[in-house]
């Protein structure tokens, strides 16, 4: 996503330097000790709408880096609106910018596109806004409601579409959308207010002008609109740094406008999944993305509810475009390397929805104000249960921890050793234990082993000769109690499930109850939903529930 900072020509305007680490978070426009400015992509809330919903950009940033722990929201953009969003980082900035916004001293310029006739002359629209369900109604001044004022100025016409500048003097929810509709030119892609349906809401916060809270100099932050970019790819482009990560979800079903269809990028390949064969529209989209992302080939896998009882060769994805895959496909995630395979049946060897949790292991930063390694990683002991191909183990080991990985399949532990090797780490410096997790927890507890961090991410359903049958909805309390028996005092328990019937609140209650039954107490807790490339909506509810618990 392109971005730039533009400044007025008078001497009172301070030239802001670009963010010193542009590749860490691509949407960052500017950062100093007081301000953090981003170019918010469309399709991302400013903040989480509810406790267990997906993170907004504010939540994601605040929990990503220790220097953003004190981030505060100064103003907001609608989920589907893109553009310049300013956060404060200091008490001074929070106080001063709040004063400027309240006093209407901050100048905001938006761009919108409409396919309806627009008056040639600038238009000042003043009304009172009243909430009406999910939308707002515009009423004449003097009627009940909150006063709102917007100035519109047409800037460019291209065929039947006109780009309009909008300058809101007030900052009411949906203000520009309501006023544009009431003025007779609803925004393209805004059917809530009578606009023609489109791929996205054509509303963009192009610039914000304010006085710097520390220097009092006038500064302007700008970001150009990119109407042509696919909104799903614009969202990913806002937070995926391509130099560090090339494995992520490209399309997440109904949340990205493609019900029942899921597409992942895996390094130089795309992997498509649905319950049926590809449609013409889906294949055309894959061809566009293949060219735009410079990938070499595309595979498709038909999802089958009976897939776990099928032979790997019967459910492996099939090539539909480009080059064939041969052996390991090397992908990057948070600067680490992993080998995925397309010939192993149901799974490729890496669960992409755990990327942010692996980053937490890598950095030791769990959330704002919470660190897994407050005294450094040296001597930290980590136990990774249900380790699969040891992706969590690799991230923890890269941070400096010593890791014990447990899994019921030898081939996955061997795969995990390869992951250590491709990241230039000696697997012999860590333990790989083959067998049932419950059995190993009993053995480790009997030996008096204690771990500073225990990672528990079991399958929704599994069976083993020694552990018997495990069902996540019913057996998580038993598993949590067994894991707590080997967790050192003050250690962290990471618990994860994608069991559809296990609601987040009930999951957390089970873990808290298990701690009480073990005569342990939860000291700190951070609930981490699935990452933003797995967006959540009513038609595509959350599947992943993860929580970090520090236990007394």
Number of domains into which the chain is organized? 3
Token reading at 173? 């929810």
Q: Using one digit for the tens of pLDDT, what is the confidence trace for 395-428?
A: 999 999 999 999 999 999 999 999 999 999 999 9
Contact between 476 and 508 (Cβ < 8 Å): no
Token reading at 339? 């080998």
Asked whether residue 435 is assigned to any structural domain, the reply reads yes
> Residue 4 pLDDT > 50, yes or no?
no
Among 222, 250, 281, the domain-final residue is 222
Q: Tell me, yes or no, if the pTM score tops 0.75.
A: yes
Asked whether residue 232 is assigned to any structural domain, the reply reads no
Which residues share a beta bridge with 146?
129
The answer on 460 and 317 residing in a single domain is: no
Long-range contacts from 504-510, C-beta under 8 angstroms, 24+ separation: 504/51, 504/52, 504/542, 504/545, 505/52, 507/476, 507/545, 507/547, 508/547, 510/476, 510/477, 510/480
Token reading at 429? 């410096």
The answer on 305 and 376 residing in a single domain is: no
Give whichever of 142-146, 259-263, 471-475 has the largest mean pLDDT. 259-263
Asked whether residue 11 is assigned to any structural domain, the reply reads no
Among 222, 250, 275, the domain-final residue is 222
Asked whether residue 4 is assigned to any structural domain, the reply reads no
Question: Residue 374 CB: number of other CB atoms within 10 A?
Answer: 8
- The CATH number for 284's domain is 3.30.750.80
> Residue 15 pLDDT > 80, yes or no?
no
The answer on 207 and 120 residing in a single domain is: yes
The answer on 254 and 203 residing in a single domain is: no
> Residue 27 pLDDT > 70, yes or no?
yes
The answer on 366 and 254 residing in a single domain is: no
Asked whether residue 229 is assigned to any structural domain, the reply reads no
- Phi and psi based region of residue 216 (left: phi greater than 0; alpha: psi -120 to 50; beta: remaining): left
- Integer-rounded Cα Rg, in Å, for the chain is 25
Give pLDDT, residue 437.
95
Asked whether residue 81 is assigned to any structural domain, the reply reads yes
Among 332, 366, 387, the domain-final residue is 332
The answer on 198 and 281 residing in a single domain is: no
> Residue 12 pLDDT > 80, yes or no?
no
The answer on 153 and 182 residing in a single domain is: yes
Asked whether residue 14 is assigned to any structural domain, the reply reads no
> Residue 10 pLDDT > 70, yes or no?
no
Active-site positions read: 78
- The CATH number for 429's domain is 3.40.50.150
Give pLDDT, residue 456.
97
- Cα separation values, 456 from 49, 64, 366, 374, 459, Å: 28, 22, 16, 21, 10
Q: What percent of the chain has pLDDT over 90?
A: 84
The answer on 288 and 180 residing in a single domain is: no
Contact between 292 and 284 (Cβ < 8 Å): no
- The CATH number for 175's domain is 3.30.2350.10
Q: Using one digit for the tens of pLDDT, what is the confidence trace for 505-522?
A: 999 999 999 999 999 999
140 vs 126: CA distance, rounded Å: 8
The answer on 90 and 201 residing in a single domain is: yes
Structural domain containing residue 46: 28-222
The answer on 193 and 74 residing in a single domain is: yes
Give pLDDT, residue 2.
34
Asked whether residue 475 is assigned to any structural domain, the reply reads yes
The answer on 362 and 313 residing in a single domain is: no
The answer on 276 and 175 residing in a single domain is: no
> Residue 367 pLDDT > 70, yes or no?
yes
> Residue 315 pLDDT > 60, yes or no?
yes
> Residue 472 pLDDT > 80, yes or no?
no
């Amino acid at each position: 996503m392109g971005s730039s900072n533009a400044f007025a020509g008078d001497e009172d305007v301070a030239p802001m330097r670009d963010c010193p680490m542009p590749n860490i978070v691509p949407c960052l426009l500017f950062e100093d000790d007081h301000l953090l400015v981003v170019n918010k992509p469309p399709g991302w809330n400013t903040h989480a709408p509810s406790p267990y919903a997906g993170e907004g950009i504010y939540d994601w940033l605040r929990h990503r880096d220790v220097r953003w722990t004190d981030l505060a929201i100064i103003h907001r953009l609608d989920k589907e609106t893109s553009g310049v969003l300013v956060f404060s980082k200091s008490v001074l900035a929070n106080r001063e910018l709040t004063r400027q916004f309240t006093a209407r001293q901050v100048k905001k310029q938006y761009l919108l596109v409409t396919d309806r006739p627009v008056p040639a002359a600038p238009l000042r629209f003043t009304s009172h806004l009243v909430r009406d369900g999910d939308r707002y109604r515009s009423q004449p001044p003097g009627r009940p409601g909150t006063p709102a004022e917007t100035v519109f100025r047409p800037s460019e016409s291209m065929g039947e579409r006109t780009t309009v500048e909008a300058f809101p003097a007030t900052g009411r929810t949906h203000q520009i959308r309501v006023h544009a509709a009431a003025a007779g030119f609803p925004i393209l892609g805004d059917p809530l207010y009578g606009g023609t349906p489109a791929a996205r809401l054509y509303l963009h916060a192009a610039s914000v002008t304010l006085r710097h809270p520390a220097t009092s100099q006038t500064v302007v932050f700008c970001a150009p609109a990119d109407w042509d970019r696919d909104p799903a790819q614009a969202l990913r482009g806002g937070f995926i740094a391509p130099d560090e990560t090339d494995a992520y979800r490209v399309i997440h079903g109904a949340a990205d406008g493609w019900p029942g269809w899921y597409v992942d990028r895996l390094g130089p390949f795309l992997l498509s999944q649905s319950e049926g064969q590809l449609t013409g529209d889906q294949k055309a989209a894959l061809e566009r993305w293949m060219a735009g992302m410079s990938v070499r080939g595309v595979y498709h896998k038909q999802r089958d509810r009976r897939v776990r009882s099928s032979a790997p060769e019967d459910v492996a994805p099939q090539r539909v475009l480009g080059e064939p895959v041969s052996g390991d496909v090397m992908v990057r995630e948070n600067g680490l390397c992993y080998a995925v395979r397309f010939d192993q049946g149901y799974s490729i060897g890496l669960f992409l929805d755990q990327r942010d949790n692996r980053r937490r292991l890598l950095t030791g930063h769990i959330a704002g104000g919470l660190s897994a390694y407050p005294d450094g990683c040296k001597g930290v002991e980590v136990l990774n249960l249900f380790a699969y191909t040891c992706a969590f183990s690799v991230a923890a080991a890269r941070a400096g921890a010593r890791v014990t990985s447990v899994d019921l399949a030898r081939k996955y532990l061997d795969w995990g050793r390869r992951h250590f090797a491709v990241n230039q780490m000696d697997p012999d410096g860590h333990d790989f234990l083959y067998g049932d997790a419950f059995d190993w927890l009993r053995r480790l507890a009997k030996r008096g082993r204690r771990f500073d961090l225990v990672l528990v991410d079991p399958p929704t359903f599994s069976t083993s000769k020694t552990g018997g049958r495990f069902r996540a909805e019913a057996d998580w309390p038993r598993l949590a109690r067994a894991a707590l028996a080997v967790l050192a005092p003050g250690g962290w328990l990471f618990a994860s499930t994608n069991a559809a019937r296990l609601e987040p609140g009930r999951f957390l209650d089970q873990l808290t109850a298990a701690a009480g039954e073990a005569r342990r107490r939860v000291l700190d807790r951070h609930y981490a939903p699935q990452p933003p490339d797995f967006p959540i909506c009513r038609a595509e509810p959350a599947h992943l529930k993860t929580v970090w618990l520090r236990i007394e």
